Every structure is written in structure tokens, then in C-alpha cells.
């Protein structure tokens, strides 16, 4: 298996071949999340509330697993591009080992800390019992989650996007099938309620990991995991964590943003809080393809940068930026042509739909320009510049939008908060472009040198 196609294949077909499987995989994951919540909501309203209470902790586990996985991805692809096979294998081996340790640590801490965490948000004994019934089972699979995501990023770093799509779909489809069977007790399964949802999710994650292990054993990819490579290499570990820590924080920042914005919106009406929640569900679909493209270009950027193919790095960035802007333009058009239909997917209250349509109209004005920040952030992670990518995320999710939301809401009410989204995207895009230009200036200079 040869990775030289990443520096030889034409840019547009290459980016599409890497990105499309990831878009499909992310679509399946989004569908499974919606269906998972749908079935739990059919158990009882309290069960759905319990699931919502534990979501921030689940999000933290995923953020740590995915964030470190991105660090592995960037490290392995860089060393492959630089023809440093031994270090690429060290990054893969040590990355899997560290990911498993992360999972064990998270399993123990999260299960032990959940009773205290739940007391902060609810005094209801019934809600607490439902939440613990879910988390005491779901969090047992934390090492499986972190290990599965480590293998996902290993395959992605070698450009094997179809393999990751296949493995992710195996687990997600199994989860979707098992949810109703184990929650409601269909066939030979006992009715387990919310605990059944936890088991269904965990089994799906086990199937995903088993699929990766089977593919690894059968296809023997060029980056091998071995005991010989387990000895810690400070240079390799530092590269993985330098990107991984910032990527983890990138993924965790939206949760902080939502919590604070909910507090601001609640002062006007709970309907505005609901609209914000609906927007973030819609945003998942709107940004889905753009995020898939970013996942596809990370290993391409890393590999070509490591191989010294700076001209291709520049072309990959420009191609992905143009594609993302096209996707976000489509999102803007849909937000203006069929906003009632989009908001109506999640509520049938006419007043809420009216508020939601106004919000979507305002927020969507920043969609196209947001492609600049998204692409710059993903490209910088691919180049191993995780802290610069983190700075862009801090701008988008904290430093600009939160103070802007507060001040704008003093003058324009809740609409001021929607306007803060649009304002933030323009400010973040400007800084993102300047940061990316500065960090890639040596590359550009080398291209211009006769």
C-alpha cells in the first residue's frame, strides 16, 4: 500500500476522494445521534432529560478522544510524507497506547464523578437514577471509544478514508438497529429502557473497533503497530499532544459557548433557548460537508508538508476553501428559501418557528465567510500548528461572540445575539486569514524563490 498518491494525484479529485467518505460517515453519525435521542424520548420525558444532563460529559470524552486522534493523524501523515517510517510507526503505536490509557482514566473519573456532577444540575432523585443507569454502563466503553478513534485516525493518516467510512458505518448501523430492540425489549431482548440505549451504543462502538482490528489484520497497512515501537519518543509524543490538546479544546469550546448563550437568551424567553438548540441541530447538517472536507485535507496537508510539496499544500488549501465556501453558500440559500421547513423539523409551535426563521436569516449571513475560519483552522492542524488553530477557535467560540452577544443584546434584544454570530464570523475570518498567512509565509517565500 503506497501513499505517494497523496503527492501525485490531481488536487480536486484527491480532495474529493478523501473528503466524500468522511462526509458520508459524519452523516451516518449525525443520523444515529438523532435516532438515539428519538427512541430514548419515547421511554419518557425524564429519560430524555437525563440523557441531556449527561451530554456535556459524553461530549468531553469524545472531545478528548477525537482531539488526540487528530494529533495522531497529523503526526503519522507528516512522518510518512518525510519518509520517516520508523517515527510514523512510533506515532501510531504510542498513540494507540496513550488513547487506551486516556479511555481508562476517563472511565474511572467520569463514573466516580457523575453523582456529584448530576447534583449540580438536578435535585430530582428519579432523574439522577435514570442518568446513572445510563452513564454507569455507557462510560464503561470509554477505552473502546478512545481506541476506536485512534485506529480511525491511523487509517485516515494513510488516506484510507473508505476503510474508516466502512468501520464507522458498521458500528453506527448496529447501534441504530439495537436501540429499539434493547430499549423496548423486542424479540428475545429484555426491555432495559435507558440502560438499553447505553448498551446499544457501547456494542456499536465495540463493533467499530473490531472492524478496524479486522481490517488491520487482513490488509496489513504500511504503518505497523508493534512492541518495538512502544518505547516513548518525546519528539513524537510532543508533536501529537501539541496538535491534540488544541484540537480537544477546539471541540470542547462550543459547549461552553452554548451554556453562556443559553443564560443570556433565557432572560428574554425560554423560546429563544429552544431556538438556539434547534439552530445547533441544523448547524450540524449545514456544516457537515465542510467538516468532512476538513477531515479529508488534514492528512493531505500533513503528508505534502512533510514531503516538501509546498506548492501542493497551497493548492489543497485554496481548493478546500473554495469548496467550503460553495457549501456554505448553499446553506445560506436554503436558510432564506425554506427556513420555515428547516425550523419546523424540530417544532410545530408557530411563535417558535417565527423566532427561529428570524434567527436563521440573521445568522446565515455569516455562513459563507465562516468557511475562511473553518478551512484555516483545519489546515493549520494539518501543518502541526495546533495552538494557532486553537486561537482561531477561541475567537469564534469565546473571545468575540460572548462579549458581542452581551453588548448587542443590550441594544437589540435577542436579535442582537443572532447578529453577534454573523459579526463574529467576519472578525474571525479576518484574523484567521492573517494567522494562516503568517504561519505559511516561509512556505510561500520558498515557492517564490528562483
Per DSSP, the residues of 326-359 read HHHHHHHHHHHHSHHHHHHTT---HHHHHHHHHH
- For residues 15 and 171, give the distance between their C-alpha atoms in angstroms, rounded to a whole number: 25
Among 63-77, 244-258, 305-319, name the one with the lowest average pLDDT: 244-258
| Residue 204 CB neighbour total at 10 angstroms | 24
What is the rounded average pLDDT of the residues 283-301? 77
- In the predicted model, is pLDDT for residue 447 greater than 60? no
Q: What letters, b where the CB count within 10 A reaches 16 and e where it falls short, cover 110-125?
A: bbeebeeebeeeeeee
The confidence band for 449, taking pLDDT boundaries of 50, 70 and 90, is very low
**Residue count of the chain:** 450
Q: What is the secondary structure of 205-251 as a DSSP string?
A: HHHHHHHHHHHHHHH--SS---GGG-S--HHHHHHHHHHHHHHHHHH
CA atoms within 13 A on the CB side of 249: 20
Residue 196: alpha-carbon gap to chain centroid: 25
Tell me how many degrees the CA angle 170-48-172 measures, rounded to the nearest 5: 5
Residue 117: the pLDDT is: 79
**Cα separations in angstroms, 120 against 115, 123, 139, 393:** 9, 8, 19, 28
Report domain extents, the chain: 4-237, 271-448
Over residues 166-188, mean pLDDT: 87
Question: Structure pTM?
Answer: 0.68
What average pLDDT does range 340-354 have in this prediction? 78
Burial code (b: 16+ CB inside 10 Å, e: under 16) for 324-337 equals bbebbeebbebbee
Query: Which range (20-34, 336-350, 387-401, 409-423) has the least confidence?
Result: 20-34
The pLDDT tens digits for 109-120 are 999 998 887 887
- Average pLDDT over all residues of the chain: 82
- pLDDT-based confidence at 48, cuts 50/70/90? low
Query: Residue 423's pLDDT is what?
Result: 94
Rounded (10°) angle between helices 45-81 and 234-266:
150
**In terms of DSSP H, where are the helices of 139-223?**
142-157, 161-184, 194-219
pLDDT at 448 over 60: no
**pLDDT score of 1 more than 90:** no
Angle at Cα 38 formed by Cα 257 and Cα 342, nearest 5°? Answer: 60
pLDDT tens per residue, range 179-200:
899 988 888 888 888 888 889 9
Amino acid at each position: 500500500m503506497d501513499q505517494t498518491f497523496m503527492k501525485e494525484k490531481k488536487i480536486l479529485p484527491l480532495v474529493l476522494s478523501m473528503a466524500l467518505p468522511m462526509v458520508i460517515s459524519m452523516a451516518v453519525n449525525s443520523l444515529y445521534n438523532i435516532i438515539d435521542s428519538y427512541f430514548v424520548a419515547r421511554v419518557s420525558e425524564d429519560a430524555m432529560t437525563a440523557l441531556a444532563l449527561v451530554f456535556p460529559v459524553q461530549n468531553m470524552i469524545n472531545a478528548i478522544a477525537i482531539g488526540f486522534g487528530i494529533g495522531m493523524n497529523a503526526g503519522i501523515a507528516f512522518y510518512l510524507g518525510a519518509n520517516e517510517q520508523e517515527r510514523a510507526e512510533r506515532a501510531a503505536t504510542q498513540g494507540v497506547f496513550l488513547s487506551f490509557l486516556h479511555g481508562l482514566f476517563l472511565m474511572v473519573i467520569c463514573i466516580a464523578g457523575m453523582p456529584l456532577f448530576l447534583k449540580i444540575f438536578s435535585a430530582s432523585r428519579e432523574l439522577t437514577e435514570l442518568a446513572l443507569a445510563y452513564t454507569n454502563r455507557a462510560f464503561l466503553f470509554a477505552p473502546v471509544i478512545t481506541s476506536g478513534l485512534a485506529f480511525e485516525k491511523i487509517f485516515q493518516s494513510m488516506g484510507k478514508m473508505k476503510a474508516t467510512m466502512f468501520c464507522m458505518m458498521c458500528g453506527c448501523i448496529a447501534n441504530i438497529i439495537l436501540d429499539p430492540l434493547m430499549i423496548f425489549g423486542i424479540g428475545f431482548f429484555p426491555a432495559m429502557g435507558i440502560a438499553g440505549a447505553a448498551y446499544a451504543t457501547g456494542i456499536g462502538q465495540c463493533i467499530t473497533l473490531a472492524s478496524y482490528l479486522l481490517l488491520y489484520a487482513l490488509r496489513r497497512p504500511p504503518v505497523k503497530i508493534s512492541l518495538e515501537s512502544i518505547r516513548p519518543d518525546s519528539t513524537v509524543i510532543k508533536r501529537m499532544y501539541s496538535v491534540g490538546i488544541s484540537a480537544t479544546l477546539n471541540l470542547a469550546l462550543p459547549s461552553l459557548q452554548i451554556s453562556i448563550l443559553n443564560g443570556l437568551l433565557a432572560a428574554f424567553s425560554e423560546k429563544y433557548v429552544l431556538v438556539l438548540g434547534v439552530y445547533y441541530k441544523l448547524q450540524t447538517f449545514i456544516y457537515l460537508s465542510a467538516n468532512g472536507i476538513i477531515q479529508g485535507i488534514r492528512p493531505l496537508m500533513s503528508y505534502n508538508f512533510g514531503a516538501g510539496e509546498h506548492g501542493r499544500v497551497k493548492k489543497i488549501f485554496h481548493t478546500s476553501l473554495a469548496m467550503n465556501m460553495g457549501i456554505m453558500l448553499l446553506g445560506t440559500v436554503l436558510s432564506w428559501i425554506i427556513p420555515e421547513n428547516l425550523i419546523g423539523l424540530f417544532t410545530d409551535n408557530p411563535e417558535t418557528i417565527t423566532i427561529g426563521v428570524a434567527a436563521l436569516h440573521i445568522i446565515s449571513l455569516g455562513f459563507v465567510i465562516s468557511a475562511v475560519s473553518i478551512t484555516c483552522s483545519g489546515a493549520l492542524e494539518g501543518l502541526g500548528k495546533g495552538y494557532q488553530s486553537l486561537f482561531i477557535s477561541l475567537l469564534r467560540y469565546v473571545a468575540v461572540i460572548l462579549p458581542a452577544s452581551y453588548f448587542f443584546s443590550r441594544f437589540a434584544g435577542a436579535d442582537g445575539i443572532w447578529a453577534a454570530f454573523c459579526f463574529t464570523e467576519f472578525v474571525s475570518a479576518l484574523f484567521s486569514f492573517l494567522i494562516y498567512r503568517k504561519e505559511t509565509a516561509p512556505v510561500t517565500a520558498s515557492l517564490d524563490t528562483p
